[in-house]
């Protein structure tokens, strides 16, 4: 190693030093170039000409690049000169101080003459320096870190300079072009492109999409782009699409949420900038209300949040507080007839208030208008149902009929009084003709009560009454009217007739069926008949007095009094005829007094009619009672009694007041040997009223929908927990919005159920109403939590609401339905399943016990099969024990409430015990385990017979509670047929074409509707005579002039001729009937009860059909305070001019083109009848299908009301009529299956041949005479 090696190492250090120097120079170059570029942009004016722009850009880029290339290419000639090496040696010495100037000393050798050989010391020095360079990397004098830092700085400066140049180019491109050039370009573009941009500048509702189109009529570009900039500064580009060769480009912005400007451009063309303004329609966000009931109710104020369906007591103060989504100018409640109630808008316009008095049922649409004149698209529907302050309901429960008492008797009178808001006073009034009425106050308290049980004992001995004295009595009750005045309501009037201590009954000869007609009793019996007719007049007069409780009389007042006066005059004429037959002077004098009293009563009736006053009727009533009491003195005390054709005792021409005594007589006449066939009828099962079923159906639907909503909330909560991207969060927000709308819809439906509960006025409904109010609060909390995005809180509130709804549904079902219906339905199903399983086990045992084939090898599989069957038998034993325990429990619980059910179940247990099915199942299982197949089969058969007997007994017991399922299915089928017919009739009227029939709906001529189509809807509850809510009763209870009079009591016109010819008459009321009509029963023929025979002639007499209400002597039918006057709740929407549906039904849609369910005013009734069908069918699947059809119809109804578009016929057929037809087919098949086993064809019922008819008739007449 010599001096050349040392120089080589130094040259490497020099090379690194040169690189570092060039990096410094280039960095400085880029900094200077960047600064100059910025100065050029700031100081030079804008350059518009393209050539100038390119020249300036070339100078800014080219000069620095050329300088940099020059720096890189330049190489210094003396870069490895001794001076450079000496400088590098100093740098190395500074880096490595241990060299101690030895490197510099060595370089001095280079100046010497190398021809001379170096000395030893020089060689030693050279060797040490080279050795140091070998052991240490002298290149690190210019370190790698230094070079990396310089390179990074260089690249950063270069990047900055490059960005400055690009910014300069952008500014040059944005420089305005000369005016002359711009106009020329525009003209050129217009010549090449003729474009129509739609919709141009426009206003769009917030959230709605916007479709932008560009129609080219000249040159068509290849592509087009939409640039739009929102108010927040966001710019977006969307490509326009072109369909085939159509010169139209289009693009759709899915949702416009803020103002924006847009422009369409292509490669060489741009459109003008158009503006899109966003507006928001006014909408109702939430409607709160505060209902303050009248003071007389004693109820606190009620606050309802976010509720559109309200119910308030008449006279209540209702305050509405509406919240809007934007400031509004006007807000008003508008009725259908155009009347409006303006709301008071606050200063900021975001809320409004309205206060009104609840006087009658009202429905409004809330119309909103903002300052720009825009109105809300769909005005919300607000429903206020007013609960009337009904009079107290008074019912005398004992004796609940007219009675005959002895002068020493203590007569017990009991009754119940029920009021809706509180009773003030309850009392008993009794009167004796000729004396002042006596009033006994039974309750008088400052604290109002809603019900009271009245009870009082009349001591007749203390009253010193004599035989043939008439005592009339009634209950009264006082409450407060809506105006705060005291209102007094009277009950039915009943009579006590004081009888003699002894009466004589003698047995007479049984009359034949043909000869007894026309025979009337003596004068006493005729007088008794007149007394009964006088009692009818008394009842009719009392009914008018009870009805006319208002300050002005009703329209029926004059016609009713005229009818009563005519009836009284007719009775006077009958009395005169009787006077001619009587020879006793004492009786004649008594008849004269009776005639005077009757004339006085008729005169008072005429005076009251002329004066239009009710006060005179009290005098008329007193005269009528006096007449009746004196008529009682003409009664006979000796009676001839004979056997009637039906086997009971009857008096020849007498009345039925002594029917109890007659039943106790023992007559010697032989019984009739041939009688008409009578069959025992099964007691009708107790059926809940229709309104209760409607409420129960809605509660069940609410519970199911809340359950589905809670399940979706659980899924959404999990998604929200694991959501990571913005797209997922946006989708969750959309789902939350939909769920909130569904929750608010459930809230509306809960309000509708609460309204129906308030209107139904059912017993024990207050507790259910309070529970529903708590449930509504949970629903409200869930909706509010969803609005705030709190899914977990919403789920908690929804779960509590679901639990409350299920509990309320179960409690309401127990109240409305039979107490043991669910228990018997469950027992019936369990017994059926147990019997089916037992039959399967029997079949399996029989299959195993078959003889094996000859030569077959025995296998362990048979033993394994026996073990499985033994296990199944043990399970059967456990199930049987459980069923037997349930039966015993029901027997004990139903012993008092349902004795018939208890007896049937007890008989089922008693008939099952001889078979000992539990022991038989246990023995069969043991025998199978032991391999004893024959004995196992015998034990199993005994158990099967016991289970079959038990099942049949349970079915018989269940029918006493649940009724006949077959009849329910028939009613459901008939109801579905009627519902389908109404939809078909609506389609026919809408299309003015022949009616279309879906498959399976039956045949018929087009245009000839069935009775159901004509409005005769089948009764969903299945009980005849039950009216619908809102059904008018005026025609049923009025006292018409054209009705027959007492002599023809209860006859229709066709029976008048029979009366004249001496035929027996009908219509006389039976003794002991109270006049209380059953709820919901028709009262049009209230006095048409079967009568006794021998009631005399009916010529020239007048009938008071309505004078006898219900079945007896009361005056219930037309009383304003009677709960029986209504077949349903008294303030249901059915009593309005139109009905209001749930979310889609109720009043007719716009225009109401056809009077059908979907487009007319009958949708609510149609929907309620569909709910009735749901309750009739027990199969859950069928019930679900009926509910789905009802919901589809409800959706169609909502669409019709929203868009005024009549549903298409094909859609109605596919979604409503055809599914209804399928369900009818299913029901028909089920009815055929069940009816095939019980339908028996009558035999030996052929008619008698005509030539033998006279002989057969005479034969039965002789049999009737006892020959």
pLDDT digits (tens, 9 = 90+) for 147-158: 788 788 888 888
Q: How far apart are CA 503 and CA 497, in angstroms?
A: 14
Q: Which residue has the higher pLDDT, 557 or 1136?
A: 557
Q: Are 328 and 376 in contact (CB under 8 A)?
A: no
Q: Does the bond joining 467 to the residue before it have cis omega, within 30 degrees of 0?
A: no
What domains, with CATH codes, occur in the chain?
3-173 (no CATH), 190-279 (2.60.40.10), 284-387 (2.60.40.10), 393-468+475-503 (2.60.40), 690-816 (1.20.120), 821-849+862-963 (1.20.120), 966-998+1134-1235 (no CATH)
pLDDT tops 80 at residue 1234? no
- Among candidates 1003, 942, 950, 1125, which has minimal Cα distance to 391? 1125
Residue range 350-374: mean pLDDT, rounded: 91
In 1167-1223, the DSSP E strands lie at: none
Sequence-ordered list of residues with C-beta below 8 angstroms from that of 1191, at least 6 positions apart, any chain: none
- Among candidates 463, 453, 387, which has minimal Cα distance to 420? 387
Count of beta carbons in the 10 Å neighbourhood of residue 115? 5
Q: How far apart are CA 164 and CA 1108, in angstroms?
A: 111
pLDDT tops 60 at residue 984? yes
pLDDT tops 60 at residue 736? yes
Question: Which of helix, strand or coil describes residue 875?
Answer: helix
pLDDT, one tens digit per residue, over 652-689 is 444 444 555 555 555 555 444 544 444 444 444 444 55
Q: How far apart are CA 1237 and CA 1239, in angstroms?
A: 6
- pLDDT at 1117 (0 to 100): 36
Question: Which of helix, strand or coil describes residue 1036?
Answer: helix
Sequence-ordered list of residues with C-beta below 8 angstroms from that of 844, at least 6 positions apart, any chain: 865, 869
- Specify burial of residue 825 (Cβ count, 10 A radius: 0-12, 13-18, 19+): middle
pLDDT, one tens digit per residue, over 232-271 is 888 888 898 887 777 888 999 988 889 999 999 887 788 8
DSSP string, 1248-1266: PPGGGHHHHHHHHHHHHTT
- Among candidates 545, 532, 599, which has minimal Cα distance to 437? 545
Question: Which of helix, strand or coil describes residue 1244?
Answer: coil
Q: How far apart are CA 378 and CA 794, in angstroms?
A: 28
Tokens at 168, concatenated: 């300069």
Tokens at 1135, concatenated: 């009593």
What is the 3-state composition of the chain as percent helix, strand, coil, each rounded to the nearest 5? Answer: 50, 15, 35
Q: Which residue has the higher pLDDT, 121 or 699?
A: 699
Cα-based angle 482, 486, 487 (whole degrees, multiple of 5): 80
- pLDDT at 923 (0 to 100): 86
Q: Are 139 and 15 in contact (CB under 8 A)?
A: no
Tokens at 1256, concatenated: 């057969």
Its sign, for the CA torsion 114, 116, 122, 123, is positive
When the pLDDT of each residue in the chain is averaged and rounded to a whole number, the result is 73
pLDDT tops 50 at residue 586? yes
Q: How far apart are CA 66 and CA 1034, in angstroms?
A: 113
Q: How far apart are CA 469 and CA 474, in angstroms?
A: 17
Q: How far apart are CA 452 and CA 414, in angstroms?
A: 11
Local confidence band at 353 (pLDDT 50, 70, 90 cut-offs)? very high
How many angstroms separate the Cα of 985 from the Cα of each of 327, 516, 1021, 1139? 47, 54, 24, 20
Beta bridge partners of 457: 412
Sequence-ordered list of residues with C-beta below 8 angstroms from that of 781, at least 6 positions apart, any chain: 793, 794, 797
- pLDDT at 79 (0 to 100): 62
CA dihedral 622, 627, 629, 633 (to 10 degrees): 160
pLDDT tops 50 at residue 1242? no
What end-to-end distance do the CA atoms of the chain give, in Å? 169
pLDDT tops 50 at residue 389? yes
**Helices 523-547 and 585-611, interaxial angle, to 10°?**
20
Q: Are 311 and 290 in contact (CB under 8 A)?
A: no
Local confidence band at 963 (pLDDT 50, 70, 90 cut-offs)? low
Cα-based angle 524, 526, 530 (whole degrees, multiple of 5): 115
Count of beta carbons in the 10 Å neighbourhood of residue 742? 17
Sequence-ordered list of residues with C-beta below 8 angstroms from that of 159, at least 6 positions apart, any chain: none
pLDDT tops 80 at residue 844? yes
Q: How far apart are CA 1158 and CA 1149, in angstroms?
A: 9
Among 567-581, 955-969, 1062-1076, the least confident range: 1062-1076
Question: Which of helix, strand or coil describes residue 356?
Answer: strand
Beta bridge partners of 252: 211
DSSP secondary structure code for residue 266 in this structure: E
How many angstroms separate the Cα of 1191 from the Cα of each of 631, 1020, 1186? 65, 19, 9
- Among candidates 981, 977, 988, 980, which has minimal Cα distance to 1209? 988
**Helices 615-632 and 523-547, interaxial angle, to 10°?**
160
Residue range 1226-1234: mean pLDDT, rounded: 81
Q: How far apart are CA 571 and CA 1104, in angstroms?
A: 12
- pLDDT at 810 (0 to 100): 73
Local confidence band at 1130 (pLDDT 50, 70, 90 cut-offs)? very low
Q: Are 356 and 341 in contact (CB under 8 A)?
A: yes
- pLDDT at 108 (0 to 100): 63
Phi and psi for 431 in degrees, rounded to 5? -145, 150
Q: Which residue has the higher pLDDT, 106 or 1019?
A: 106
Question: Which of helix, strand or coil describes residue 123?
Answer: helix
Cα-based angle 1006, 1010, 1015 (whole degrees, multiple of 5): 125
Local confidence band at 324 (pLDDT 50, 70, 90 cut-offs)? very high
pLDDT, one tens digit per residue, over 679-720 is 444 444 444 556 777 777 788 888 888 888 888 888 888 888
User: Can you give 981-1022 as a three-state secondary structure string?
Assistant: HHHHHHHHHHHCCCCCCCCCCCCCCCCCCCCCCCCCCCCCCC
Phi and psi for 1064 in degrees, rounded to 5? -65, 145
- pLDDT at 1128 (0 to 100): 38
- Alpha carbon 688 to its chain centroid, in Å, reads 18
- Among candidates 1166, 1253, 1123, 1183, which has minimal Cα distance to 392? 1123
Cα-based angle 808, 813, 817 (whole degrees, multiple of 5): 160
Sequence-ordered list of residues with C-beta below 8 angstroms from that of 565, at least 6 positions apart, any chain: 602, 605, 606, 609
């Amino acid at each position: 190693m010599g001096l050349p090696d040392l120089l080589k190492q130094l040259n490497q250090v020099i090379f690194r030093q040169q690189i570092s120097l060039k990096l410094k120079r280039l960095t400085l170059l880029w900094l200077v170039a960047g600064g100059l570029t910025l100065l050029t942009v700031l100081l030079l004016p804008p350059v518009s000409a393209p050539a100038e722009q390119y020249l300036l850009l070339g100078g800014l880029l080219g000069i620095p690049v050329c300088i940099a290339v020059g720096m890189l290419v330049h190489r210094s000639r003396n870069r490895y000169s001794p001076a450079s090496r000496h400088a590098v040696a100093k740098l190395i010495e500074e880096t490595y101080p241990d060299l101690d100037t030895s490197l510099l000393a060595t370089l001095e050798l280079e100046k010497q003459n190398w021809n001379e050989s170096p000395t030893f010391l020089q060689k030693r020095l050279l060797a040490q320096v080279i050795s140091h360079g070998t052991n240490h990397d002298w290149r690190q004098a210019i370190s790698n870190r230094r070079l990396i830092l310089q390179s990074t700085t260089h690249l950063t400066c270069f990047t900055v300079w490059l960005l400055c140049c690009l910014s300069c180019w952008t500014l040059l491109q944005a420089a305005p072009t000369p005016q002359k050039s711009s106009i020329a370009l525009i003209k050129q573009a217009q010549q090449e492109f003729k474009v129509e941009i739609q919709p141009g500048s426009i206003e769009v509702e917030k959230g709605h999409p916007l479709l932008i189109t560009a129609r080219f009529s000249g040159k068509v570009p290849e592509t087009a782009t939409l640039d739009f900039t929102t108010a927040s500064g966001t710019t977006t580009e969307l490509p326009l699409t072109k369909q085939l060769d159509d010169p139209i480009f289009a693009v759709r912005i899915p949702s416009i949420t803020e103002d924006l400007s847009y422009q369409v451009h292509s490669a060489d063309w741009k459109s003008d900038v158009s503006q899109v303004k966003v507006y928001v329609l006014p909408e109702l966000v939430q409607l709160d209300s505060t209902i303050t009931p009248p003071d007389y109710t004693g109820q606190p104020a009620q606050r309802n949040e976010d509720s559109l369906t309200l119910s308030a007591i008449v006279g209540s103060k209702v305050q509405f507080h509406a919240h809007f989504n934007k400031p509004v100018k006007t807000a008003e409640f508008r009725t259908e007839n155009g009347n409006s109630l303006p709301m008071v808008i606050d200063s900021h316009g975001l809320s409004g208030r309205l206060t009104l008095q609840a006087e009658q049922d009202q429905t409004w649409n809330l119309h909103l208008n903002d300052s720009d004149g825009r109105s809300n698209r769909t005005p919300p529907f607000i429903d206020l149902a007013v609960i009337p302050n009904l009079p107290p309901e008074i019912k005398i429960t004992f004796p609940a009929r007219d009675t005959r008492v002895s002068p020493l008797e203590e007569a017990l009178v009991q009754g119940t009084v029920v009021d809706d808001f509180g009773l003030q006073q309850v009392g008993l009034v009794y009167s004796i003709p000729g004396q002042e009425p006596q009033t006994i106050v039974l309750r008088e308290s400052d604290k109002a009560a809603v019900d009271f049980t009245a009870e009082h004992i009349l001591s007749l001995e203390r009253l010193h009454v004599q035989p043939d004295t008439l005592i009339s009595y009634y209950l009264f009750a006082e409450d407060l009217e809506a105006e705060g005045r005291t209102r007094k309501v009277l009950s039915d009037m009943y009579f006590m007739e004081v009888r003699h201590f002894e009466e004589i009954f003698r047995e007479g000869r049984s009359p034949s069926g043909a000869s007894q007609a026309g025979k009337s009793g003596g004068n006493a019996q005729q007088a008794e008949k007149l007394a009964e007719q006088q009692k009818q007049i008394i009842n009719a007069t009392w009914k008018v007095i009870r009805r006319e409780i208002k300050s002005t009389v009703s329209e029926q007042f004059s016609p009713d009094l005229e009818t009563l006066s005519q009836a009284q005059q007719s009775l006077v004429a009958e009395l005169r005829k009787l006077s001619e037959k009587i020879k006793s002077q004492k009786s004649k004098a008594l008849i004269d007094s009776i005639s005077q009293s009757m004339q006085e009563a008729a005169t008072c009736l005429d005076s009251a009619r002329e004066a239009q006053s009710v006060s005179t009727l009290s005098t008329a009533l007193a005269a009528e009672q006096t007449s009746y009491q004196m008529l009682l003195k003409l009664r006979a005390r000796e009676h001839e009694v004979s056997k009637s054709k039906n086997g009971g005792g009857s008096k020849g021409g007498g009345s039925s007041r002594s029917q109890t005594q007659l039943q106790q007589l023992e007559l010697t006449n032989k019984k009739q040997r041939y009688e008409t066939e009578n069959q025992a009828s099964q007691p009708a099962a107790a059926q809940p009223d229709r309104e209760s079923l409607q409420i129960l159906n809605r509660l069940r639907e609410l519970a199911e929908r809340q359950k589905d909503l809670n399940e979706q909330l659980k899924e959404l909560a999990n998604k929200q927990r694991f959501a990571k991207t913005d797209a997922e969060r946006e989708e969750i927000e959309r789902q939350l919005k939909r769920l909130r709308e569904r929750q608010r819809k459930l809230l509306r439906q809960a309000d509708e159920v609460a309204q129906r509960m308030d209107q139904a006025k059912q017993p024990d409904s207050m507790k259910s109403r309070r529970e529903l109010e708590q449930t509504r609060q949970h629903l409200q909390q869930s909706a509010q939590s969803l609005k705030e995005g709190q899914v977990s809180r919403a789920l908690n509130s929804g779960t509590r609401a679901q639990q409350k709804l299920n509990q309320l549904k179960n409690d309401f079902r127990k109240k409305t339905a039979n107490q043991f219906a669910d228990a018997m339905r469950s027992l019936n199903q369990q017994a059926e399943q147990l019997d089916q399983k037992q039959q399967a086990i029997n079949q399996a045992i029989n299959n195993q016990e078959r003889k094996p084939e000859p030569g077959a090898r025995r296998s362990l599989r048979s033993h394994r099969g026996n073990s499985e069957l033994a296990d199944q038998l043990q399970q059967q034993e456990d199930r049987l024990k459980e069923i037997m325990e349930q039966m015993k429990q029901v027997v004990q619980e139903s012993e008092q409430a349902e004795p018939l059910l208890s007896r049937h179940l007890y008989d089922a247990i008693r008939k099952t015990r001889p078979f000992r099915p539990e022991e038989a199942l246990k023995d069969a299982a043991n025998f199978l385990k032991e391999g004893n197949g024959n004995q196992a089969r015998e034990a199993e058969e005994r158990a099967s017979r016991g289970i079959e007997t038990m099942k049949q007994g349970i079915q018989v017991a269940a029918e006493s509670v649940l009724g006949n399922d077959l009849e329910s299915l028939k009613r459901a089928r008939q109801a579905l047929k009627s519902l389908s017919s109404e939809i078909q009739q609506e389609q026919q009227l809408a299309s003015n074409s022949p009616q279309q029939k879906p498959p399976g709906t039956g045949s018929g001529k087009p245009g000839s509707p069935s009775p159901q189509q004509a409005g005769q809807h089948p009764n969903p509850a299945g009980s005849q005579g039950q009216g619908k809510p809102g059904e008018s009763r005026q025609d049923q209870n009025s006292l018409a002039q054209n009705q027959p009079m007492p002599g023809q009591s209860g006859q229709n016109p066709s029976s008048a001729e029979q009366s004249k010819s001496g035929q027996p008459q009908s219509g006389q009321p039976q003794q002991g009937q109270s006049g209380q009509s059953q709820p919901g029963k028709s009262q049009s023929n209230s006095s048409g009860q079967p009568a006794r025979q021998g009631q005399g002639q009916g010529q020239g007499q007048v009938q008071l059909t309505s004078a006898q209400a219900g079945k007896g002597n009361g005056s219930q039918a037309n009383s304003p305070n009677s709960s029986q006057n209504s077949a349903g709740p008294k303030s249901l929407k059915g009593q309005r001019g139109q009905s209001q549906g749930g979310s889609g039904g109720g009043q007719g849609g716009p225009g109401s083109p056809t009077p059908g369910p979907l487009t007319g005013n009958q949708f609510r009734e149609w929907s309620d009848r569909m709910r009735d069908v749901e309750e009739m069918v027990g199969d859950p699947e069928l019930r679900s299908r009926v509910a789905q059809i009802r919901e589809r119809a409800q959706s169609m109804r909502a669409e019709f009301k929203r868009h005024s578009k009549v549903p298409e016929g094909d859609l109605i057929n596919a979604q409503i009529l055809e599914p209804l037809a399928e369900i009818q087919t299913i029901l028909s098949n089920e009815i055929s299956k069940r009816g095939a086993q019980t339908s028996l064809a009558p035999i030996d019922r052929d008619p008698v041949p005509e030539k033998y008819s006279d002989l057969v008739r005479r034969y039965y007449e002789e049999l009737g005479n006892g020959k």
